Amino acid sequence: MNTDINDFLARRQRTVSKLAPWLEQIIALRKSGASYRCICSYLAEQGVTARNEEVIRFLRRRDRARLRTSSPTKPQPRPPAPKPVLPDGIPVFKWEPAGKSDNSW
């Protein structure tokens, strides 16, 4: 059964999106504030037919792939802050009231 799967995968060709050659232009248009409909109009002028949903999906897929490949490493936890300690080993506690009060109790 594994050979069937391997044969299938060998025959399967990876298709490239029709929008892939236009990625830089699409990103530039989005950064300049162009709507997806405007991007589709630009692509139509270039001879590429695409709906705005296709452009949206294309950009989302590219973002997900970019995030997967450039994910940052896990942040290291910070060590706890040192607590001031008296010479006999007792921790120092310093209480400061929030504000001056005329209340005497």
User: Residues 16-66: pLDDT tens digits?
Assistant: 788 999 999 999 999 999 999 999 999 999 999 999 999 999 999 888 877
Q: What is the pLDDT of residue 2?
A: 73
pLDDT: which is higher, 69 or 59 = 59
pLDDT: which is higher, 92 or 18 = 18
Q: What is the pLDDT of residue 29?
A: 94
Residue 38 buriedness (CB in 10 A; 0-12 / 13-18 / 19+):
middle
Q: Are 62 and 70 in contact (CB under 8 A)?
A: no
